[in-house]
Amino acid sequence: MTTMQAATYSGGQRFEVTKVETPEVQPGGVLVRVRNCGICGSDLHMYRGEFPAAPDMRMGHEIAGEVAAVGEGVSGLEIGQTVAIEPVEVCRQCDFCVSGRYQLCPERKFLGIMLPGAFAEYVHVPAYTVHPLPDGVDTEVGSLVEPLAVSVHGLRQVGLSFGERVLVLGSGTIGLMALVAARALGASDVFVTARYPHQAEAALALGAAKAIEAGDNAVQELTAAFAGRPPEVVVETVGGHADTLGKAVELVAMGGRISILGVFSQPVTINAMVAVLKEVTMVGGIVYGRPNSRSDFEVALEIAARHVDELRRLITHRVALADIGQGFATAADKSQRSIKVTVEV
């Protein structure tokens, strides 16, 4: 039996890094040597106690690394190849899977939530979840492909068209990824709201037309910035218990679409009459799928290959696996100017 280092969450904002058994490669599977795994906002929800976490849970689903072993029946992957992981396992047989909407599979299981995640030296995953990284994309940027794919999915869900305007509510990782994705998918102007100055700075550096401080005057300032042409698409990325979904309905153009990517911790209210009168379309997005011949993850990989330098700037902190507790504390403390904290394994 071989062992590896792995970090488990023991509750109370405490992690333990211990030796555990290294997974053995299985038929149809791939053993990946993890090199980078980002700390996600959903990880922070569990860290803060806002969402339940199983005892001795191993988080981590923003994964990039190297192929360490391939199981029987696996082709197209080579030992040492750098890859990103699409961290959801599905049945591949139900109507949702066959139609490309595998993110809705009743048997879906997410790494780092329902299955052991990648805050460890190795992770074992099905071969169909493994994506070779394009030339020029290293594992550090490769670990950002997963949150980028979430934003790509949200924008494809609402059918973003070339030349449309977009408003992104929130400038955390998903919000900034939505900004990158919207511009890459053809949006003309992208406006954002940001709670912290360093997030606004990052948004402007990524090409936002305007970054507005999230607060009491945000609606008025955004309305003025739109100059009579409200955005056809609004992407909500804040979630929690914020009133941002109501603001999205208020700010979106007549006949506009709202992509809901924020993870809400409690029910929220909207002005349904305004939504009716404006004929607003609202679509939730959980992770990613394959709406046509190219999956959301494949599109995200292509975008990452074209925007390596911009994406790398979103990584504000790097920590070793042994220091994962400090990494989570930094990610949760925006006074540290954190955007994305990556764990280097």
Task: DSSP for 11-52, please give it.
Answer: ETTEEEEEEEEPPPP-TTEEEEEEEEEEPPHHHHHHHTTSS-
Give the pLDDT confidence score for residue 20 in this predicted structure. 97
pLDDT, position 111? 97
Strands 281-284 and 257-260: parallel
Q: Locate tokens 């999230």: which residue?
A: 214
Q: Report the SS3 class of residue 283.
A: strand
pLDDT at position 72 is: 98
Structural domains in the chain plus CATH codes: 3-144+314-344 (3.90.180.10), 148-284 (3.40.50.720)
Q: Are 127 and 74 in contact (CB under 8 A)?
A: yes
For the entire predicted model, the pTM comes to: 0.96
From first to last of its 345 residues, the chain has per-residue pLDDT tens of 899 999 999 999 999 999 999 999 999 999 999 999 999 999 999 999 888 888 889 999 999 999 999 999 999 999 999 999 999 999 999 999 999 999 999 999 999 999 999 999 999 999 999 999 999 999 999 999 999 999 999 999 999 999 999 999 999 999 999 999 999 999 999 999 999 999 999 999 999 999 999 998 999 999 999 999 999 999 999 998 899 999 999 999 999 999 999 998 889 999 999 999 999 999 999 999 999 999 999 999 999 999 999 999 999 999 999 999 999 999 999 999 999 999 999
pLDDT score, position 265: 85
Q: What is the pLDDT of residue 123?
A: 98
CB within 8 A of 220, min separation 6: which ones?
A: none
Quick one: DSSP state of residue 133?
P
CA distance 108 to 116: 14
Token pair for residue 56? 């001795």
CA gap 176, 301 in Å, rounded:
16
